[in-house]
A and B are shown apart, each in its own frame.
Chain A
Amino acid sequence: MTELIERPAPEIGKARRRREDARLVTGRTRWTDNIQLPGMLHVAFLRSPMAHARILRVDVSAARELPGVVAAFTGADLGPEQGSLPCAWPVSEDVVIPAHPPVAVEEVRYVGEAVACVVATDRYRAADALEAIEVDYEPLDPVLDMEAALAPGSPGVRAGQSNKAFTWVFSQGEVDAAFAGAPVLIERTYVQQRLIPSAMEPRAVVCDRLGEDYTLHSATQIPHILRVMLALTTGIPEHRLRVIAPDVGGGFGSKLQVTAEEVVCLLLAKRLNRPVKWTESRSEGNLTVHHGRDQLQRISLAAESDGRIRGLKVDLLADMGAYLMLVTPGVPLLGAFMFPGIYKMAAYDFRCTGVFTTKMPTDAYRGAGRPEATFAIERVMDELAHELGIDPLEVRRRNWIEREEFPYTSVAGLVYDSGDYGAATDRATELLGYAALRAEQAERRARRDPVQLGIGISTYTEMCGLAPSRVLGSLAYGAGGWEHASVRMLPTGKVEVVTGSSPHGQGHETAWSQIVADTLGVPFEDVTVLHGDTAISPRGLDTYGSRSLTVGGIALLQACGRVREKAKSVAAHLLEADPGDVDFENGLFRVRGTDAVRSIQEIALAVFTAHNLPDGFEPRLDADATFDPENFSFPHGTHLCAVEVDTETGMSRIRSYVAVDDVGNVVNPLIVEGQVHGGIAQGIGQALFEEARYDEEGNLLTSTLADYLIPSAADLPDFVTERTQTPATSNPLGVKGVGEAGTIASTPAVVNAIVDALRPYGVHDVRMPCTPERVWRALEESR
């Protein structure tokens, strides 16, 4: 007798509370630093206090003598075995990828670069031993400013070599013609300050060796990529290496990296044949977790006198820091395609020069290239509106791609599959009360209120869901962009899912269960999701670039579809029907026109017993799928905010913030809203608070959370969020990425608001972060 399982469908679209929470709210989470193994040793790194110096001598002998110290190594001790940290994105023919030993051997090139390591019986003893290491440095000139670094005669980050890392150019349409004789020309320079990603969980690594087999736990976003890269870097064979990302406390790109510490912990476990652990302190992390942004953007826009854009030119300097890490040079390229934003134009010219400096390398940080691009175009659109004296919403409307025009090939060559910029903007203006705020603004301006009101606009799109493998190949990226999933039904009808995505806060266990529940017609509770361990999930390309759902989720959907088809053939066999006459709905196979029925759980058991299966059917109810997307996904939306700026103190206060995003169809609206909130907060952080600052000697001045200010609850407003829903046409779920959208959108919205508030004073830019001091200075300079 077929037992009917109650399953209120559908799960997709439901605001399911997250199943991950049960361990997180009770303190039963498995962070890497929680791991204690018998005989485990602790690693500490001695780091360079100089931005640039030749290493004359490193003496670890005294450290080795201290109680509890098991070993100490210099870079030279580790020798060629430590290899060179990889850069997987050689963007151009001319790119220079310098050798990057995990522990410096001859020269240090940023403050914080490791020069030696010690291994001791506990973390306090390891830290003590660092003090006994002697290092003699011969100081060299630091290289800190990108423009100066490119000037002839500049000191080199590497003696005798240019500080240019690469140039990358891209041009579409008749750029000169678009600019020649254009009625309106706007030229601006924007500074994308250097940021520190600041995931709340510091990095940690635990590595164990058993014979020739190694298990490396790391607080990483990319266990799969890390495994390949560690094998290539250290020569430890890939099949002898298992990488586990346990619970990971946020990443935002910062844990999309192959780090010196991971390589060294692996080598130490190898040499000492003991388990080792390293956990960074926050101040170590601010110095040595890759930084984000740091671009100098020169942007020129040519327009007609009615505001229609003729062409756009972008000339970027991108600070690479001292070395090229995993995707360092690729970050500005991801932006290259997004400067045109949602606007139509006939000509576009982009050039980027990567520059070496004696600072921590930069790399992916939430949005990676797209926030920078979106900031520049959205700021310039406001400048254009101001120049022409038209409303900044109107100038956007005159230029954006209309709903009927999709699919639309942008001037940068991307095919935007779907969108409705008008609908999102209309809803956002309504929610903000745009007209009333403009009236209040006019009134405050008229009475010269010391507290002025600004309205900030950001109508963004972005490319995410990285990525079609052939596109990545054409951009010289070293890997593909597919994702893998496998699904197996257990004898009792429960479902195990293995995903190659590697969550670190995104809630995959919940969202993936929703997809499986609907596709296989099983209860949400009957699904478990396994991830983040290369022994359990051998194939995958991990989580970054808002790719998990749009790539990994589709692989999962396809694997579920295959399981369903297999189950259907068994059901047809058991029901003695033609598979073509069997329908599947809500977990039940029915022979059309009869009441003969079998549940998918019954089929799972029947496959397990294998007593009566169709001829040639292998007794297993499972399937794999690997999905390579045909296109990126293009979420879009309109973010508006109202900011009050005190012209006497320079203080800005966000009064209201509205976001209407279009991320296509939604699997879990709760998770989507959370991603939008967090994204907005990080973008506001860049606009108002955050900046990694180096002094003129190359010392990082913002090495703690007391100096590097990430927003607290008291610094942020509540957010009004809504969605419009234009399904993506490039995947069967109709979903678009959401992980980075908020961060991409919010920074220009806030800065546009501040500049808008200050327009009557002649201000047309405030450099980020727009601290009270910067605002006040901008006012002083234009008075």
Chain B
Amino acid sequence: MAQRKMTVTVTVDGVRYEEEVEPRLLLVHLLRDRLGKTGTPIGCDTGNCGACTVMLDGRSAKSCSVLAVQADGSEILTVEGLASGDEWHPLQRAFHEEHALQCGYCTPGMIMASLDLLQVNPDPDDTEIREGLEGNLCRCTGYANIVRAVRRAAAESREVSGA
């Protein structure tokens, strides 16, 4: 039950935090309940939905499946840290342009998973996008526009890096 506390140090969206936590605290609860990073939501308790996806030291991770103490020393990027000021990330713009969200509950996770996907494969075809996002569930959109958005963001990012 009440457990011995441990200290974790994490950098989230560029800000360093030091927190005393119970070893059982999930990273997603650290983010949401302790650090006020509520941009990352929770959709399940079995690691299936991907709503909680963040970048953990440069790779996507389901923050409900990681203990806060396991993230000690890590660098975390959430959807809240993607834009620079009012300038949205290409994925945020593409999700907006392609109407790839309705209720938006899956969107933070979907965007973070797409970020990882494009990092590994900058030019995915539709099947690769669909398979790459298999761990992120959306109940609203039927995914067609999400696939379009990822394709669009990929094209835009390639243009930028090619220029």
Contact = CB atoms under 8 A, between A and B. Distances in A.
B154 interface: no
B103 interface: yes
A358 B155 CA distance: 53
Contacts of B25: 124
Nearest to A197: B139
A722 B11 CA distance: 47
A172 B36 CA distance: 60
Contacts of B2: 67-68, 125
Contacts of A202: 42-43
A677 B32 contact: no
B139 A714 contact: no
B41 A33 contact: yes
A27 B40 contact: yes
B99 A705 contact: no
Nearest to A248: B103
Interface string B33-47: 100111111111110
Contacts of B79: 25-27
Nearest to B82: A26
A548 to B, nearest CB: 13
B143 A33 contact: no
A24 B101 contact: yes
A710 interface: yes
A88 interface: no
A250 B83 contact: no
Given A21-B95, A27-B80, A674 B45 contact: no
Given A17-B96, A713-B147, A719-B142, A705 B48 contact: yes
Interface string B111-142: 10000000000000010011101111111111
B28 to A, nearest CB: 11
A81 interface: no
Interface string A240-256: 00000001111010000
B142 A716 contact: yes
A75 to B, nearest CB: 25
B48 A704 contact: yes
A782 interface: no
Given A249-B41, A249-B105, A677-B145, A34 B32 contact: yes
B97 interface: yes
B102 A506 contact: yes
Contact of A28 (B1, B80, B88, B126): B80
A317 interface: no
A711 to B, nearest CB: 8
B24 interface: yes
B51 interface: yes
B84 to A, nearest CB: 11
Nearest to A15: B99
B92 interface: yes
Q: How large is the interface on A (under 10, 10 to 19, 20 to 34, 35 or more residues)?
A: 35 or more
A505 interface: yes
B106 A200 contact: yes
Nearest to B2: A67
A201 B41 contact: yes
B42 A33 contact: yes
A573 interface: no
A636 to B, nearest CB: 20
A27 B78 contact: yes
Given A29-B104, A33-B41, A198 B139 contact: yes
A26 B130 contact: no
A706 B97 contact: no
Given A250-B139, A713-B134, A34 B38 contact: yes
Given A677-B145, A680-B142, A706 B48 contact: yes
Given A505-B140, A713-B130, A200 B39 contact: no
Which secondary structure dominates chain A's binding surface?
loop
A682 interface: yes
Interface in A475-496: none
A281 interface: yes
Which secondary structure dominates chain B's binding surface?
loop
A200 B96 contact: no
A671 interface: yes
A17 B41 contact: no
B10 interface: no
> Of residues B43, B106, B111, which shows the largest number of chain A Cβ atoms within 10 Å of its Cβ?
B43
B49 interface: yes
Nearest to A503: B103
Contacts of B107: 24-25
Interface string A10-50: 00000001101111111111010110100000000000000
B144 interface: yes
A504 interface: yes
B96 A718 contact: no
Contacts of B29: 123
Contacts of A680: 142
Contacts of A18: 96, 99
Contacts of A17: 96-97, 99
Contacts of A670: 99
Contacts of B41: 29, 31, 33, 201, 249
Contact of B145 (A29, A198, A674, A742): A674
B80 to A, nearest CB: 4
Interface string A666-697: 00001101110111111000000000000000
Contact of B92 (A20, A25, A247): A25
A66 B2 CA distance: 10
Contacts of B105: 29, 31, 199-201, 249-250
Given A124-B24, A202-B43, A26 B92 contact: yes
A677 B141 contact: yes
A33 B40 CA distance: 11
Given A713-B143, A714-B134, A249 B104 contact: yes
Interface in A571-586: none
Interface string B5-36: 00000000000000000101100010011001
Interface in B72-86: 78-80, 82-83
Contacts of A281: 44-45
A639 to B, nearest CB: 13
A689 B107 CA distance: 23
B12 to A, nearest CB: 12
Given A25-B104, A674-B145, A719-B144, A704 B111 contact: no
A198 B44 CA distance: 10
B139 A21 contact: no
B115 to A, nearest CB: 12
A742 B142 CA distance: 11
Contact of B137 (A200, A504, A506): A200
A679 B139 CA distance: 9
B139 A200 contact: yes
Contacts of A198: 139
B49 A25 contact: no
Contacts of B48: 704-706
Contacts of A122: 33
Contacts of B39: 26-29
A222 to B, nearest CB: 16
Interface in A426-465: none
B110 to A, nearest CB: 9
Given A128-B1, A705-B44, A712-B133, 4 more contacts: A17-B97, A21-B104, A27-B39, A202-B42
Q: Shortest 6 CB-CB distances between A and B: which pairs?
A: A27-B39, A24-B104, A505-B103, A249-B105, A681-B142, A677-B142
30 contacts: A17-B96, A21-B101, A23-B104, A25-B96, A27-B79, A31-B41, A31-B105, A123-B29, A124-B25, A125-B1, A199-B103, A199-B139, A200-B139, A201-B43, A247-B103, A249-B41, A250-B139, A250-B140, A504-B103, A507-B102, A673-B99, A674-B102, A678-B141, A681-B141, A704-B45, A704-B48, A713-B134, A718-B126, A718-B147, A719-B142
Interface of A: 17-18, 20-29, 31, 33-34, 36, 66-68, 122-125, 128, 198-202, 247-250, 252, 281-283, 504-507, 670-671, 673-675, 677-682, 704-706, 710, 712-714, 716, 718-719, 742
